[in-house]
Amino acid sequence: MSCAKYDVFLSFRGLDTRPNFVSFLHKELDRRGIRTFKDDEELENGQRISPELNRAIEVSRFAVVVVSVNYAASPWCLDELVKIMDFEKKGSMTVLPIFYGVDPCHVRRQIGDVAEQQFKKHEDRGVDHAKVLSWRLALENLANISGECSSKWNDDSKLVDEIADKISEKLMIVRTISNGRNIVGIDKHMKNLNRLMDLNSKKDVRVVGIWARGGSARSALAKYVYQTSSKHFESHCFLGNLKLISQGRYFESHLHEEFLKSMKGECSTSTQGLKNQKVLLVADDVSKLKQLDALAVDYSGFGPGSVVVITTQDKRLLLSHGVDNVYEIKFLRFQKVRRTIAFKKRDIFAAFESALYRAKDFATECFGCPTSTSGYEKFC
């Protein structure tokens, strides 16, 4: 959703979870800077959802639906759920169900106190039969989505951390792709990079270098390549803090540990487990030859069809390491967009960080651009 105002919309029955679980979850999401909508009013029976609440659902990326024992007793919650599942069906919202103190099988089959008896009460009160059917269908569809069940956790704080971790990871992917789409000429860049990466190849490990000016745009491109290409590989890894990892006397072992820790996919806990696998490794902002040499120890064992993508502002590193497939971009930049001034603490920090990136990019363009080296393909 391109115009999302909130990252998360919380749907819950206040009677069951407002003072405890939902309060803890909202606090943790807010602590992580995840913009979360939590309504603090409880509607009486017969009241309709306000236009503001409807709008909050429409402008949220994710919905966390906390199904508790009295969730289906609330027409308000059920109306919310119908709207949420409608957006989920259209693909404009991601839904994460939390089955709190209830059995998801009972919710799916709509038996017992959590569903069947609640819906019967609604019909006894004269609620339109078609409306009750729409509530039932929405609840059934929700229960068919993989979520979290509180009975599998002995501590609510651990469940809260797990939910916050999942949302943070999903948001990172969404924001990465969004940032990548804001790069000028991104479709052309990806077409050329896909040709160099040759994702359908079954040959030995293919190493592709990306040289571009502008640290923030280059990193955004690296993350975009990773997020859009990783689905083609059995295991994949993004290393974006090489400068920090490479500090110290024993940086090789630190880099290896970070490599294994960041690897995702099948058998990704050891270098041995990655042998004969098709692996994607993206190493962003490489600044020293010793970093490439250390990485080569790990990726030399990758299986056929594997791809290693290296981004740097120093073309000589790629030449010294013997990288033949190099994508050179003279001017990599974001599209100019109109920005409004915001006064929230995190927005002020983001504005400062953006200004810092721009200053670094300007310095790089003015003082840090090595002369062109023959043998490299150039793309503007």
This prediction has a pTM of 0.55
Active site residues: 80
Contacts of 150 (CB under 8 A, 6+ apart): 21, 98, 99, 100, 101, 156, 159
Residue 326 CA: distances (Å) to CA of 113, 270, 371? 63, 29, 15
CATH code, 184-328:
3.40.50.300
Which residues pair with residue 63 across a beta bridge? 9, 95
Average pLDDT, the chain: 82
Q: What is the pLDDT of residue 49?
A: 61
Task: Locate the domains of the chain by residue range.
Answer: 6-173, 184-328
pLDDT at 318: 92
CATH topology assigned to domain 6-173: Rossmann fold (3.40.50)
Q: With 90 as the cut, is the pLDDT of residue 208 above it?
A: yes
Q: Which residues contact 346 (CB under 8 A, 6 or more apart)?
A: 33
237, β-bridge pairs: 281
- Distance between CA 132 and CA 114 in Å, rounded? 15
First-to-final CA distance of the chain? 30
Position 359 pLDDT exceeds 60: no
Amino acid identity, position 7? D
Per-residue pLDDT tens over the stretch 266-295: 655 667 778 889 999 999 989 889 889 989
Give 235: exposed, middle or buried? Use CB within 10 Å, 0-12, 13-18, 19+: buried
Return the H-helix or E-strand segment holding 188: helix 186-197
Contact 93, 123 (CB under 8 A): no
Q: Of residues 239 and 333, which shows the higher confidence score?
A: 239
pLDDT of residue 220: 85
Q: Which amino acid is at 377?
A: E
6-173 and 184-328 in the same fold: yes
Query: Residues 6 or more apart from 293 whose CB is under 8 A from it?
Result: 321
CB atoms within 10 A of CB 78: 24
Structure tokens at 146: 């993989």
